Amino acid sequence: MSVWDRAHQSVGTRTNGHFGFIDQLRGVAILLVFLCHCTASFNLAFSMDLNDPLGFVAQVYSGKINVSQVIDFLCFYPCRMGWSGVAIFFVVSGFCIHLSYSQSGKPDLTAFYIRRFFRIYPPYLLAVLVFGLLFPYSRLDFDHWQNWMRLLSHLFLCNNLSEFLVGISASYWTIPVEAQLYLLFPVLLLLVRRYSFRGALWIVGVVQFSLPITTALAFGLSHLPPLWISASPLYYWFSWSIGAAICDAYLKGKPSPWLKSSPWLWLLAAVATSGFAAHEFSFAFFALATASLLARRLTTESAEEPLSLFGRFLRVTGTYSYSIYLVHQPIIVAVTESYKRLFPGLENNPWAAFFAALSSWLIIFPVAALMYYLVEKPSILLGKRLLKALSQRWSNDPSGRRRVSQMFPRTKGLRLSSDSTRRP
């Protein structure tokens, strides 16, 4: 996240209820994001009300809003807050990235980055090329040189650096943020080695929270800061790192951070601050609510419990969540635009527009499933084969790997046995 990374666990661990719960969290997260983008098909005036809850309340008290609009707002505002699913993804990503890195017999960043590349980039590359070059509702017009820059920025994972580079799918800003957080992972490990995870979290927390405080003072709470600030990996470093901290505590058998804090209190803080234009503090509060929930879940019995039908749906959806994330927004646009041609004025009826967008799930889910089995899994397998080949080469000449590994520290005191994902 990746935001959607599946840790490469042993067969026994994959059936562990703890890590099945991770897939369920992913399922919740991608459904939230999907619902959020389903509200984007409303007319502009209604969308602005959803983005400005305090302004909407002021209009209610001034008598400018009727009862029907109040009901619409109460129904659709929770959907618009579905962007909070990205916060869930980032916490889960931090957890799984640290787990994947730590559970290998001799963790080093060379193998780590190879796994990350083949887990994230090939499906993303396919999505960028299909939706940027071929798909009629998202393809770029290359008569303008700016669109060449947009395509290149997507290919080189730097399209989060400027509003000028946004294109193809608005959702794709998180992919470069995720990749850039991978580059910060060694820095986090260095901080952990020197100051412990608690000290490292204080440092990255100061970094993350200082940015929204600064932007709030500079631009105001009702104005978006520049994308190079609000989409910087430093803006989400703490939210991502808390997942790694929970994983570290789990592997060491220590009490997880945020175990005693209530997720409901963090959720209340998140909702209370969600009306700010850039969600300056709300994102971190949603991440902390997720961290509290995850920490509590990891303390329960690990045996797999029978899932309800909805629980199984969440787990399968979580399995396909990365592919769903990559394909969902252009398909939502295509489906809703098709409805608008058939039913002119559809966008002026929020309920009709919302259900039209919801119907796109009937296309998104099977397309994502195909992408998972035909692209994601083969890409992961290719990465494993490459690592195996490199491992054989390194076993014959270990000095090259040793030089790379010594450049980066391991987390002090981490359990690295073959069953390190099991709680001692």
pLDDT per residue, tens digit, the chain (424 aa), is 444 444 333 333 433 455 788 999 999 999 999 999 998 866 545 655 676 777 777 778 887 778 887 888 888 888 888 999 999 999 999 999 999 888 765 667 888 899 999 999 999 999 999 999 999 999 998 888 889 999 999 999 999 988 888 889 989 999 999 999 999 999 999 999 999 999 999 999 999 999 888 888 887 776 778 888 889 999 999 999 999 999 999 988 888 888 888 899 999 999 888 877 666 788 999 999 999 999 988 887 555 567 788 889 999 999 999 999 999 999 999 999 999 999 988 878 888 899 999 999 999 999 999 999 999 999 999 998 998 888 777 676 655 555 444 444 444 444 333 333 322 2
Q: How far apart are CA 84 and CA 32, in angstroms?
A: 7
Q: Residue 411's pLDDT is what? A: 43
- Contacts for 343-348 with beta carbons within 8 Å, 24 or more apart? 347/41, 347/42, 347/43, 348/43
DSSP 3-state assignment of 295?
Answer: helix
Q: Residue 160: which residues within 8 A CB-CB, separation 6 or more?
A: 173, 176, 177, 180, 227, 228, 231, 232
CB burial of 313-328 (b: ≥16 within 10 Å; e: otherwise) equals ebbebbbbbbbbbbbb
Q: Residue 23: which residues within 8 A CB-CB, separation 6 or more?
A: 6, 314, 315, 318, 319
Q: Residue 195's pLDDT is what? A: 92
Q: How far apart are CA 51 and CA 277, in angstroms?
A: 7
Q: How far apart are CA 1 and CA 22, in angstroms?
A: 13
Q: Residue 304's pLDDT is what? A: 59
Q: Residue 223's pLDDT is what? A: 74
Burial status of residue 204 (CB atoms within 10 A of its CB: 0-12, 13-18, 19 or more): buried
Q: How far apart are CA 242 and CA 62, in angstroms?
A: 43
Q: How far apart are CA 55 and CA 398, in angstroms?
A: 63
Q: Residue 43's pLDDT is what? A: 58
**CA–CA distances in Å: residue 215 to residues 228, 235, 278, 296:** 12, 11, 9, 33
Q: How far apart are CA 334 and CA 83, in angstroms?
A: 21
Q: Residue 118's pLDDT is what? A: 95
Q: How far apart are CA 375 and CA 280, in angstroms?
A: 35
Q: Residue 407's pLDDT is what? A: 42
Site of tokens 């389903």: 38
Stated pTM of the model: 0.86
